[in-house]
Structure 1
Amino acid sequence: MICLSRSLVGIYLLKCILCEGLCGERRHVIGTLGGDVILRVDGTGIMGDITWFISGNHFATTDPGGHINIRDNQYNGKLYGLAGGSLNITELDMVDQGIYTASTLRNTSTKEELCAQVYDLRIYRMLSEDDIHIEHNVTSMEPCSMTFTCTVNRSDVNVTWSSSVGSDINVTDYVLYVSAPDPKMIYTCTAQNHISTSSNSVTPWEY
């Protein structure tokens, strides 16, 4: 009977999240694979526990005193409650990425109301030089012309080319076109995501 009551409470809270207003704008949170992240709760006017959901799963409950009740065993050892009811998620994995909702009863200047704070958690891997691959192709011997294609084995990255002297370069879709290369000219392919930047360089004269 107790388990049934808790299930009904969870269903009720989820329905309330769908019908009540938001506590504020959706928050975009960036995390690093293997690191930790904090989903911060605005403690103003909070009148009790904060109920945490992801994909309809009520996985934890926190309170303003920093206590936490983990309801889903898969989160044991990686969730911690913080003062104000905020949630600390540690040892981030890609499966932790998603939309989180914190439902709480808040006392405003006019009334008490249930509202939901929504967090969009995105997790990224740190980039390294090994993630960046440059392939070359000699297209002409006289004059010497070649192309260099930069590929990155990670998703959600921005890729750019640059030269060692800052001069204009000919690039189309990550492909660098070089003609009559200067022996001292170095070209660098740089990859960047939300948490890191890495690069790899090439000297066309070597080819």
Structure 2
Amino acid sequence: MLLLLLVMFGINSCVVYCESCTQKNVSRSEGGEVVLRVHQTGIRTINWILLPEGNVIVTTKPGRSIEDDDVRKQYRGRVRSEADGSLHINHLSPQDQRSYKADIQTKEDQTFCILFNLTVYERLSDGDIKINHSLTRNGSCSLRLLCSVNKRDVNITWSNLNGSDVNATQGVLYVPPGDVNFTYICNASNPVSNVSKTVSPKEYCDKDNSQASPKLNLPWILGILFTICVIILIFVIYKRMGKGKGKKEDISTTYAQVEKPQGPDGNLYHEPQKDQQCLTVYSEVQYAKKTNSQKKTVENKPTPLETVYSTVQFPQENRQNGTNAQSAGPSNPNKVAAKD
């Protein structure tokens, strides 16, 4: 119970004591440096206290340097004392964003304090600014531009090169169709830096138009490709069906020479008074065209002979000799050997 009362008393006294201190707000950029200036004369010593922990960083005296061993570990090599006892901190990082209390004791044994509230900001660059747009089409180009920076405590403002008023709210710029040819500037600033980016709304309109054109032609392109595919498919099917159909048989003509047989006297075909004569018989023989597989099968087999029966008629003078022309039938065949 006693411990709790002591803690509460310490907290209350600190609050009252801190509220009685002079307060200064200081802003610096990350990686930079800061001097916590006291602006006081007749100073004997200054105890620099880190809040809210209450740890002493270092004790400085006007006109005297400080040793690293006397500095709190996390600040060693980064702090030094100014001639008037002010504290100089360099290589600032986000972790240095704290409240620093300077307990000052004068040569007349008077005491007072100064509370420094240090804020460490990141320095902005052009690449930190992002511009997003949304396009509304009602027969013309109407834009909504959003300027944003992903940093804390950044102030965004819009302006244009013509110096006219702009319609902007919380980083959002509304550009009517009649103002798309103007050039606008997005300004981003924080307490330690200021950057800007120039924007031409017409570029966004032209870009969206170029991207929209291929989409309008896409159905036509797909229709043409589909038609070509159908034509190719029909052609392939037709070719395959044509190969399956039987082809007309090739017709070749075989020429054969048939001689009258020379027999004994009185034979029907024998004419002793005249020289032997030859008759030329033209026969048409149809051969079925062999496929490649059939050709391979019979490639090594001997070529077969086919027998062709032809009708041969002798001249009229045979009838005068009392012999009538007869057809050569199966009993008297004329055999012709034909090659395949």
Shorter chain as denominator, the TM-score bin is 0.7 to 0.9
SS of aligned partner of 1:85: coil
Q: Please say which of residues 171-180 and 54-63 is displaced more in the overlay.
A: 171-180
What is the rounded CA distance, in whole Å, between the counterparts of 1:141 and 1:34 in structure 2?
50
- For 1:1-207, what aligned pairs fall within 5 Å after superposition? 25-46=22-43, 48-55=44-51, 56-69=54-67, 70-107=70-107, 112-182=109-179, 184-206=181-203, 207=205
| Higher helix residue share | 2
Letter of the 2:50 counterpart:
I
Change (3 A) 1:157 1:120: same
What is the rounded CA distance, in whole Å, between the counterparts of 1:116 and 1:15 in structure 2?
17
Using structure 2 for the length normalisation, give the TM-score.
0.52
What is the rounded CA distance, in whole Å, between the counterparts of 1:188 and 1:57 in structure 2?
47
For the aligned residue pairs, the C-alpha RMSD in angstroms reads 2.4
Change (3 A) 1:18 1:113: farther
Change (3 A) 1:16 1:179: closer
**Greater Rg over alpha carbons, structure:** 2
What is the rounded CA distance, in whole Å, between the counterparts of 1:113 and 1:15 in structure 2?
22
Tell me by how many angstroms 1:72 deviates.
1.2
What is the rounded CA distance, in whole Å, between the counterparts of 1:173 and 1:32 in structure 2?
24
Letter of the 1:74 counterpart:
Q
What is the rounded CA distance, in whole Å, between the counterparts of 2:170 and 2:39 in structure 1?
44
SS of aligned partner of 1:95: helix
Tell me by how many angstroms 1:16 deviates.
8.5
Change (3 A) 1:189 1:20: closer
Residue 264 of structure 2 is matched in structure 1 by none
Greater RCO, 1 or 2 (C-alpha within 8 Å, sep 6+): 1
Residue 8 of structure 1 is matched in structure 2 by none
- Structure 1 runs of 4+ with >3 Å offset: 14-24, 181-184
Residue segments in structure 1 that go unaligned for 5+ positions in a row = 1-13
Change (3 A) 1:90 1:117: same
- Whether contact under 8 Å (2:22, 2:113) holds in the other structure is no
Letter of the 2:88 counterpart:
N
Using structure 1 for the length normalisation, give the TM-score.
0.82
- Whether contact under 8 Å (2:188, 2:194) holds in the other structure is yes
Change (3 A) 1:88 1:102: same
Determine what percentage of the aligned residue pairs are the same residue.
37
What is the rounded CA distance, in whole Å, between the counterparts of 1:149 and 1:36 in structure 2?
34
What is the rounded CA distance, in whole Å, between the counterparts of 1:197 and 1:63 in structure 2?
37
SS of aligned partner of 1:189: strand
SS of aligned partner of 1:84: coil
What is the rounded CA distance, in whole Å, between the counterparts of 2:169 and 2:79 in structure 1?
45
Letter of the 1:52 counterpart:
W
- Whether contact under 8 Å (1:52, 1:58) holds in the other structure is yes
Tell me by how many angstroms 1:172 deviates.
2.1
Q: Please say which of residues 123-132 and 66-75 is displaced more in the overlay.
A: 66-75
What is the rounded CA distance, in whole Å, between the counterparts of 1:122 and 1:136 in structure 2?
33
Query: In the TM superposition, what whole-angstrom CA distance separates every residue of 1:125-156 from its partner, at most 9, and x where no partner exists?
Result: 11111110001111124132111111111110
